[in-house]
Amino acid sequence: MARKASGSAHWHTETAAVHAGEFVDPATRASSPNLVMSVTFAPEAVTGFSARDERDYEGFVYSRVGSPTVAQLEAKLAALEGGEAALCFASGVAAAHALICGRLGRGDHIIVPDANYVGIAELARDTLPRFGIEVSCVDVSRPEEVAAAIRPATRMLWLETPANPTMKLCDIAALAQLAHDRGVRDVAVDSTYATPVATRPLSLGADFVVHSLTKYIGGHGDAMGGAVIGRTADLDALNLEATVHFGGVLSPFNAWLILRGAATLPIRMRAHEEAALKVARFLEEHEAVSRVFYPGLPSHPQHALAKRQMRNFSGMMTFQTRRPGPEIAAAMVKKLEIIHYAVSLGHHRSLVYWIGTDGIQASTFRHDAEQLRRYRDYAGDGVFRLSVGIENPDDLIADLSRVL
């Protein structure tokens, strides 16, 4: 059963992050959420053996169907996004897979960005067609391309804003309106980069929001998870299909860690944004850097949309260098003292990684000639993806100066 937001609609984000989904334990009077690791539970009423027969039972029976600790996190996430309910999964990709394969079937059509997070991009290109789901990859920053791609079988429009790794934005409200007017049932937004502190896609017309909880919401790089937030009826149906049948459930221990991280999300996002803006300005003025993409900079091609759609510019950016990227990446591995040369993002510590155009084209995007031309116009031979943590930005700047 999808867990609903409770009594938090009137709270500010900072308050919801701390209190939504949490309560004082009636037995122990514990103030912090309990970590309940039990796999099975003793129900207070006779229930059926299949999860199909448990839908009218409000308690817990088996942790693949629902767990008390995971349920608390789900309620918190629903409150933060202003959604009716949430479902958690073992990773961000598990959440995306659950939503896409739980809502679509053979003969359905999905539109996805032509450049977005590699896990979802490869799922769309390599896996979905094997199961008869048709995929179109378009530049979702151009509404006219989305409109041209919609066909009678289109059931889902998948958006990611800001996009990984290009930092392109898309207009959620405009695209949701366009898709729904043209008969598309579901608009889903991967809002991992933005977080609910910056953007609430449901309020802009989206049907679902997806997060990799491994990133900003968990925030500490020590717990993997994913979530889908949306309408209760949709997520109740999805729970049976995607959670019970696909089985990609979130561990209660990881849920407990992410609960703890989510409580400080608003203050961490303020620190991320403050440090990122200072680092982005430094990079933009550095002679070794040719281009910086950060939504908070006026130089970002979609800065006006960022100001309209985002309440926080987050800590993510990409930049290009005049010297060859692999050469600087090798120096980063050896010389960086504070920033870690490592994948992932949204952690309290800063992370940087080189994403070469040739490599990501061969492994993931496989663009046609025109899409490749556009990607190279934007990303050149590659970009450094920098996830700015909550360290002092002056120390991060000194660290980057060492390799630039």
Instruction: Supply the DSSP string of 102-129, one letter for each residue.
Output: HH--TT-EEEEESS--HHHHHIIIIIGG
With bands split at pLDDT 50, 70 and 90, how would you rate the model's confidence at 270? very high
**Residue 181: per-residue pLDDT:** 98
Do the beta carbons of residue 150 and residue 400 sit within 8 Å?
Answer: no
- To which H or E segment does residue 349 belong? none
Question: Mean of the pLDDT values across residues 378-400?
Answer: 97
With bands split at pLDDT 50, 70 and 90, how would you rate the model's confidence at 57? low
Judge whether residue 50 has pLDDT over 70: no
Judge whether residue 232 has pLDDT over 60: yes
**Residue 55: per-residue pLDDT:** 61
Tokens of 276: 């990122």
**Residue 66: per-residue pLDDT:** 87
**Other CB atoms within 10 A of residue 148 CB:** 11
| Residue 165 preceded by cis peptide, ω within 30 | yes
CA distances from 252 to 72, 224, 256 (A): 10, 11, 6
With bands split at pLDDT 50, 70 and 90, how would you rate the model's confidence at 85? very high
Question: Mean of the pLDDT values across residues 294-308?
Answer: 98
Q: Best-predicted range by mean pLDDT among 46-50, 66-70, 192-196?
A: 192-196
Question: Mean of the pLDDT values across residues 13-42?
Answer: 93
Residues 6+ positions from 233 with CB-CB distance below 8 Å: none
- Collapsing DSSP to helix, strand or coil, 321 comes out as strand
Judge whether residue 245 has pLDDT over 90: no
| Residue 252 preceded by cis peptide, ω within 30 | no
Query: 163 phi and psi, to 5 degrees?
Result: -90, 150
Q: What is the pTM of this model?
A: 0.94
Question: Mean of the pLDDT values across residues 10-35?
Answer: 93
Strands 382-387 vs 351-356: parallel, antiparallel or unpaired: antiparallel
- Give the whole-number percent of the chain exceeding pLDDT 70: 96
Do the beta carbons of residue 235 and residue 99 sit within 8 Å?
Answer: no
**Residue 10: per-residue pLDDT:** 83
Pairwise CA distance, residues 384 & 165, whole Å: 9
With bands split at pLDDT 50, 70 and 90, how would you rate the model's confidence at 35? very high
First-last CA distance in the chain: 51
Pairwise CA distance, residues 315 & 280, whole Å: 10
Q: What is the pLDDT of residues 330-373, one digit of tens each?
A: 999 999 999 999 999 999 999 999 999 999 999 999 999 999 99
Residue type at position 144: E
**Residue 125: per-residue pLDDT:** 96
Residue type at position 315: G
